Amino acid sequence: MDTIFACLEKNPIIASVKTQAMIDKAIASPVEVIFMLSGNICELNEAVAKVRDAGKKLALHIDLIEGMGKDYYALKYLSERVKPDGIITTKSNLAKYAREFGMFTIQRMFMLDSMCFDNALKYAANTGPRADAIEVLPGVIPSIIKKLSAMTNCPIIAGGLIRDKNDTIQSLKAGAVGISTSCEALWFS
């Protein structure tokens, strides 16, 4: 079975979805990886099964799932009962727990200013890798993606504000291994 990284090598575009209808469109698209950015705990098993049956990978943004605790036991539940292909979180403690359960983990980081960039470097250098990848938002800052990619050993996913093919190309050229976008037209490009 392919890993998320192997799927991104086939197609670096990641469908970021917020509704069940978007999941269906993402399944029908050529993307290999889907990020679920909303929903509730009651929908998770069905969403994971639907995506898995389509031969694709699904990562859940656990910070945005309604009814989902934000602690050790939430990750234990996900790893034992829901079994997504990965999780996304902005919280380093949740990334650490997910890794303890053997889950593919994406640490989402917002690059708002130089302090955020410095904190991302500190996170990657001082705490050791708590995540398999870092998702950088907004993803339309190729110079930051390039620097962060060069200064860490963690693969970078670019997300947020990616609206056209040029944004995608520039982020990939800067070193991103994948591009997450809710822009459905890019899923088919």
**What pLDDT digit, counting tens, does each position of 89-136 carry?**
999 889 989 999 999 999 999 999 999 999 888 877 765 557 899 999
Where helices occur in the chain by DSSP H, the ranges are 4-10, 20-28, 44-53, 72-77, 92-100, 114-126, 142-151, 165-173, 184-187
Q: Which of 131, 61, 62, 66 is nearest to 92 (CA)?
A: 131
- Would you kindly state where each structural domain of the chain is located, as residue ranges? 4-187
- Do residues 48 and 58 make contact, with C-beta atoms less than 8 angstroms apart? yes
Q: Which fold has domain 4-187?
A: TIM Barrel (3.20.20)
Q: Taking the complete model, does pTM exceed 0.85, yes or no? A: yes
**pLDDT confidence of 9, banded at 50, 70, 90?**
very high
Tell me what the mean pLDDT of segment 170-175 comes to.
96
Q: What CA–CA distance (Å, rounded) separates 139 from 102?
A: 27
For residue 49, what pLDDT is reported?
A: 98
Average pLDDT score over the chain: 93
Interstrand relation of 156-159 and 133-137 (parallel, antiparallel or unpaired): parallel
* 9 half-sphere exposure, CB direction, 13 A CA radius: 5
Quote the strand ranges of 80-141, DSSP E: 86-89, 104-110, 133-137
- Do residues 67 and 38 make contact, with C-beta atoms less than 8 angstroms apart? no
